[in-house]
Copies of this chain bind each other. A is one copy, B any other.
C-alpha cells in the first residue's frame, strides 16, 4: 500500500494567504498542508494495522476496516487541533476519533502498541519524502533553465567580476554553468537524502516495542514495506540524525538557489542591464511603473534567507532530547522543519521561473566589458603569471580570445546535468 496522494484530493491552501505569493509558491505548500500531515498520520495508522495483521496479531479484515476509515476528509482538523492541547500533540485525539470511526472489534486494534511519536515521526517522513520529491523537481527545473542559458550563451562574452569589480573576461554561459553546478549539487544531495533518510519509526511507549513482543521487529519491517520507507535497525525517536541531515541538505540547497538569484539582481541593475526578468505581467512598482523589478529573484532570496535560521533550530532541537522522549525538543522540530521545506520549495519554484524567463543582453555584456577597459588591463597584468599569453600582443587581444577553459567548464556542467536528467531523476 502506498500512501494516498493527499494533495490531489484536498483543497490546496497555498497561495491564499496575504503573504503567500512570496512564501508559498509551487507544489510544496500543498504537500505539507495540515491535510497532508493528517493523511500521512492516517496512512501510518492504516499501514500499522496491515503490518500487524500480516504478523498474525489480528485478522486482516480488522486491518481493512481500519484502513477504510483512514481518509483525512473524514476528520475535522480544527477539532483535532483544539483537542491536541490536552496531550500536547494531535495524535492522541486523532486516535480517539479513529477508534470511534472504525468501531467494533477492529476499533480496538487501532494504534496497537504504538505511541504518538511513532505515528507523527513516520508521518513526517512521508510528508518530507513527498515534499523532497517536489523540491528536487523544482531544483531540476531551475537547473534545466540554467543549462539552457549555459548552452545558449557559450560565446556571450562578459566581464567576470570579483568583489564586485570587473576582473577578467568570462562568458555568461560559464556563469550559468556555475549556477547549474550548484543546483545539480543541491538536487543530488536532496535526492540522496530522499532515498536514504525516510524511515518508519516504531518503538512504542519507551522505544522497546514491549507490547508487540515478540513480533516487534517483524512488524517494523512490514510497516516499512507497506509505506515504502526504510526499516531502521533501531527506533530513532531520540536519534534525530535523519531529521538533521534533511535540514542540512535543505540549507545547502538554499545556498545554491540564492546564488543565481543574487547574480540576477546584480545583472539587472540599471547601470549593468545585462539581464532582466521577462515573466509577463510581473515586476511593476506601486509608484514607478516603468521599473521592471526582478521579483522572482527577490522572492527567491526572501525565501533562502530564512533557511539557515530554521536549520539551526532543527539542529539545536536535535541535541535536546532527554531519555526516551524529549520534553519539548521534539515538538520544537515540527514547525521549523515544515517551514524549511516550504521556504526551499518556494525558492526553487521562484528561481525556476526567474531563470526560465530570463532575458539576457549579450551586446550589453560586451559593451560593459569594453567600456571599462578593465578587463584589458587585467589581461595585460596576467601576462607574467601564465603561459597562455606568451608572444601575444595584448593590445590587440580580443577579450573573447581570453576565456580560458570556459567552454570545457560549460560542457562538463551540461554533461553532468544531462546524465542527471537521464539517471537520477
A325 partner residues in chain B, CB cutoff 8 A: 161-163, 167
**How often does this chain occur in the complex, in copies?**
4
Contact B261 A252 (CB under 8 A): no
What string of 1s and 0s marks CB contacts (under 8 Å) between A80-95 and chain B? 1111111111111001
Q: How far is the CA of A294 from the CA of B162 in the complex (A)?
A: 11
Q: How far is the CA of A165 from the CA of B285 in the complex (A)?
A: 11
A302 in the interface, Cβ–Cβ < 8 Å?
A: yes
| A-B CB contact pairs (8 Å), 12 listed | A18-B80, A25-B85, A85-B282, A116-B286, A167-B288, A168-B288, A204-B404, A205-B378, A251-B315, A256-B318, A309-B311, A309-B316
A133 partner residues in chain B, CB cutoff 8 A: none
Given contact pairs A86-B282, A160-B208, A210-B386, a sample of 4 additional A-B residue pairs in the complex whose CB atoms are under 8 Å apart: A162-B323, A169-B210, A308-B315, A308-B316
Q: How far is the CA of A404 from the CA of B265 in the complex (A)?
A: 27
Q: How far is the CA of A335 from the CA of B405 in the complex (A)?
A: 32
A318 partner residues in chain B, CB cutoff 8 A: 252, 254-256, 258-259
Contact B86 A295 (CB under 8 A): yes
Q: How far is the CA of A364 from the CA of B287 in the complex (A)?
A: 26
Contact A86 B281 (CB under 8 A): yes
Q: Given A167-B324, A213-B404, A258-B319, do A205 and B84 touch, yes or no (CB 8 Å)?
A: no
Give the segment of A1-9, A60-68, A182-190 that binds chain B.
A182-190
A209 in the interface, Cβ–Cβ < 8 Å?
A: yes
Please give the distance in Å from A325's CB to the nearest CB on chain B.
3
Contact B288 A21 (CB under 8 A): no
A134 in the interface, Cβ–Cβ < 8 Å?
A: no
A113 partner residues in chain B, CB cutoff 8 A: 385-386
Contact A328 B301 (CB under 8 A): yes
Please give the distance in Å from A388's CB to the nearest CB on chain B.
4
Q: Given A239-B185, A241-B189, A306-B332, do A262 and B321 touch, yes or no (CB 8 Å)?
A: yes
Contact B239 A291 (CB under 8 A): no
A residues 227-258 near B (Cβ < 8 Å) are: 233-236, 238-242, 244-245, 247-249, 251-252, 254-258
Please give the distance in Å from A421's CB to the nearest CB on chain B.
16
A residues 10-26 near B (Cβ < 8 Å) are: 15-23, 25
Q: How far is the CA of A165 from the CA of B159 in the complex (A)?
A: 20
A339 partner residues in chain B, CB cutoff 8 A: 335, 339
Please give the distance in Å from A342's CB to the nearest CB on chain B.
9
A270 in the interface, Cβ–Cβ < 8 Å?
A: yes
Contact B91 A404 (CB under 8 A): no
Contact A233 B293 (CB under 8 A): no
Contact B302 A307 (CB under 8 A): no
Q: Given A57-B387, A236-B181, A286-B92, do A162 and B205 touch, yes or no (CB 8 Å)?
A: yes
Q: Given A248-B248, A252-B318, do A212 and B388 touch, yes or no (CB 8 Å)?
A: yes
A181 partner residues in chain B, CB cutoff 8 A: 233-234, 236, 239
Contact B263 A241 (CB under 8 A): no
A84 partner residues in chain B, CB cutoff 8 A: 18-22
What string of 1s and 0s marks CB contacts (under 8 Å) between A262-299 and chain B? 11011011111000000001111111111111110111
Of all chain B residues, the one with the shortest Cβ separation from A85 is B21
Q: Given A112-B385, A302-B332, do A38 and B18 touch, yes or no (CB 8 Å)?
A: yes
Q: How far is the CA of A294 from the CA of B325 in the complex (A)?
A: 13
